[in-house]
């Protein structure tokens, strides 16, 4: 595929149940933010059991374990694994922030319309008033620090650039 000068987005059309991305890293796309974090195997199964944010203590233990996995993937020159760990750290931050702002986890009033399921956004629904939870805000801050460490890690940045150049993404 010829490079277009534009990054390829995450490909949700793949058969995720049958792909081992450790064996086929060329199929992986970084995408935006947390795209694919709950789809890409075997990494999802390796990282997800450690992903928790209920309290700051739990978030600290979780983020440290996931960051350790991130470093292990880097040491193994496994960019896809490192990027997936980075995504789990980011998701720890964003989900904690969601609950920090809305204790119920519900940001919008009403159900997602059937034709919009699986997509993010308000879809015409009004946003619920803030109902702050300082415990989840503390959890979010813990995950944000580890996520930033991962994003700024020199080997990660170098591997990401090499991955994108190799696969023209």
pLDDT digits (tens, 9 = 90+) for 132-165: 889 999 999 999 999 999 999 999 999 999 999 9
Separation of alpha carbons 37 and 84, rounded Å = 6
| 62, part of any domain | yes
| Average pLDDT value for the chain | 90
| 114, part of any domain | no
What is the per-residue pLDDT across 41-62, written as a single tens digit (0 to 9) for each?
A: 999 999 999 999 999 999 999 9
Given a contact cutoff of 8 angstroms between Cβ atoms, the answer to whether 125 and 108 are in contact is yes
| 78, part of any domain | yes
Residue ranges making up the domain that contains 58? 34-108+128-167
| 41, part of any domain | yes
CA angle 152, 155, 158 (to 5 degrees): 90
Separation of alpha carbons 75 and 161, rounded Å = 17
| 80, part of any domain | yes
| 146, part of any domain | yes
Across 14-18, 112-116, 120-124, the highest mean pLDDT is recorded for: 14-18
pLDDT of residue 7: 56
| 117, part of any domain | no
pLDDT of residue 118: 67
Positive or negative, the CA dihedral 93, 156, 7, 80 is negative
Identify any residues that bridge with 127 across adjacent strands, giving them in sequence order: 108
Q: Could you give the percent of the chain with pLDDT greater than 90?
A: 68
Q: Which two structure tokens, joined as six digits, stand for 118?
A: 């699986």
Q: Where are the beta strands (DSSP E) in the chain?
A: none
| 134, part of any domain | yes
pTM: 0.86
What is the per-residue pLDDT across 91-120, written as a single tens digit (0 to 9) for each?
A: 999 999 988 888 877 888 888 888 777 677
Domain count, the chain: 1
Q: Spell out the residues 6+ positions from residue 165 whose beta carbon is closer than 8 angstroms to its own.
A: none
Q: Could you give the percent of the chain with pLDDT greater than 70?
A: 95
């Amino acid at each position: 595929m010829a490079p277009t000068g534009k990054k390829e987005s995450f490909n949700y059309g793949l058969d995720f149940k049958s792909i081992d991305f450790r064996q086929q890293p060329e199929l992986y796309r970084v995408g935006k933010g947390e795209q694919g974090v709950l789809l890409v195997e075997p990494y999802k199964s390796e990282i997800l059991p450690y992903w928790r944010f209920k309290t700051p203590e739990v978030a600290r233990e979780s983020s440290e374990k996931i960051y350790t996995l991130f470093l292990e993937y880097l040491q193994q020159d496994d960019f896809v694994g490192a990027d997936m760990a980075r995504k789990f750290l980011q998701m720890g931050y964003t989900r904690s922030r969601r609950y920090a702002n809305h204790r119920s986890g519900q940001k919008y009033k009403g159900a997602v319309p059937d034709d919009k399921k699986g997509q993010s956004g308000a879809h015409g629904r009004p946003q619920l008033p803030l109902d702050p939870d300082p415990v989840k805000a503390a959890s979010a801050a813990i995950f944000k620090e580890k996520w930033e460490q991962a994003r700024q890690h020199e080997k990660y940045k170098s591997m990401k650039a090499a991955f994108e150049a190799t696969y023209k993404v």
